[in-house]
Structure 1
Amino acid sequence: MPAESGLPAGWEVRHSNSKNLPYYFNPETKESRWEPPEGADSDKLKVYMANYHSSRPLAADGAGSYQGKIRCAHLLVKHEGSRRPSSWKEAKITRSKDEAMSIILGHEARIRSGATSLGDLATSESDCSSARKRGDLGFFGKGDMQKEFEDASFALKPGEVSHVVETASGLHLIER
């Protein structure tokens, strides 16, 4: 973290994928927080955050994306082998990868049949905290997401839903 950030030693700014907002993180203590840590130089921090962590106005490029960014929603089903096998619904996820695949294939069938939408299903069934936003991850560009997720997302046409996409986080259905 550059010294001009105004943050105390050990602290850095990271970006929350679920809320699409910057937050403060101390890798040594594993503490994360939305508010600046005690001892931060608020004047330096304000300038640093404005320069490096403010969203810029987005201009349409005519292809349904903004400055190379696209917007997607997803439904995530985690399993015991997921990077973080816990969610807002379950403190410890113990289902196998095969069980997770069975669940997500059922969700995909319901979406494709028109019985429900990805957003409606994500609200109650997704293991991602984006569930409360109907799975909406907001706008993101190349390099912002795990490679498998990014590749699948950018391959979709607006309104299209992917088949199951596997990442270190779990199993996803993605809607651009």
Structure 2
Amino acid sequence: MTSETGLPENWTIRFSKSKNLPYYFNTKTTASQWEPPSDTDSDKLKVYMEEKFPAASIVPSEGSGPAGKIRCAHLLVKHKDSRRPSSWKEANVTRTKEDAMEIIQGFESRIRDGSTSLADLAAAESDCSSARKRGDLGFFGRGEMQKEFEEAAFALKPGEMSHAVETASGIHLIERLE
């Protein structure tokens, strides 16, 4: 176990230049993956990632996007029945769907009462690798996201945030940026 990162032996963190996101690389097998390997100390990894890759330093570009496309940010809470029950901060997600819904509703309350923003919560709490971009998914058009996500996102006006949206990936809060 690497003490500083919490990763198992032979695993390191590298940075993808094309996706502008960190990923995990095994120096012995040369395997790479977006989710942390099993046997990762999730608490140590989270602290390391917050120190080495502060989300505030990754600022998306502003401006109008391609025709027919919108830009959204989201906060994802996975559960044990999610399509891939692991994330950058947790190698094995074990919470129930009900627990995930309770967590997302707590996040929604904090955002709506003005005590925090979706971007700030996404950076620290989202189970999506977009956490490193403060939840920003960039521009996307119809047919590029899961159906439930797409329907909720396209129903929002810029500046609006959805209520909880369930998809195969987990439970989301979606904020339309542009």
TM-score range, shorter chain: 0.5 to 0.7
Which residue does the alignment assign to 1:26? none
Whole-angstrom CA distance in 2 between matches of 1:94 and 1:168: 15
The letter for the 2-side match of 1:161 is M
How far off its partner does 1:66 sit? 2.7
The letter for the 2-side match of 1:84 is R
Which residue does the alignment assign to 2:95? 95
| Structural RMSD (CA) | 2.2
Whole-angstrom CA distance in 2 between matches of 1:91 and 1:111: 27
Which residue does the alignment assign to 1:53? none
TM-score between the two structures when normalised by the length of structure 1: 0.65
State yes or no: 1:159 paired with 2:159.
yes
Which residue does the alignment assign to 1:172? 172
Equivalences for 1:56-75 in 2 at 5 Å? 66-75=66-75
Which residue does the alignment assign to 2:58? none
Which residue does the alignment assign to 2:148? 148
Whole-angstrom CA distance in 2 between matches of 1:142 and 1:112: 27
Which residue does the alignment assign to 2:5? none
Whole-angstrom CA distance in 2 between matches of 1:143 and 1:156: 17
Which residue does the alignment assign to 2:49? none
Whole-angstrom CA distance in 2 between matches of 1:126 and 1:32: 21
State yes or no: 1:110 paired with 2:132.
no
State yes or no: 1:123 paired with 2:134.
no
| SS in structure 1 of the partner of residue 171 of structure 2 | strand
Gaps of 5+ in 2: 1-18, 21-30, 34-62
TM-score between the two structures when normalised by the length of structure 2: 0.64
In structure 2, the CA distance between the partners of 1:173 and 1:111, relative to structure 1 (3 Å rule), is same
* Structure number with bigger Rg: 1
- Cα shift readout 1:151-176 (whole Å, capped 9, x = no counterpart): 00000000000000000000000000
| SS in structure 2 of the partner of residue 171 of structure 1 | strand
- Cα shift readout 1:18-45 (whole Å, capped 9, x = no counterpart): x39xxxxxxxxxx879xxxxxxxxxxxx
How far off its partner does 1:65 sit? 5.2
Aligned residues: 121
Which residue does the alignment assign to 2:55? none
Whole-angstrom CA distance in 2 between matches of 1:81 and 1:129: 18
- Cα shift readout 1:30-73 (whole Å, capped 9, x = no counterpart): x879xxxxxxxxxxxxxxxxxxxxxxxxxx8xxx6531000000
In structure 2, the CA distance between the partners of 1:103 and 1:91, relative to structure 1 (3 Å rule), is same
State yes or no: 1:80 paired with 2:80.
yes
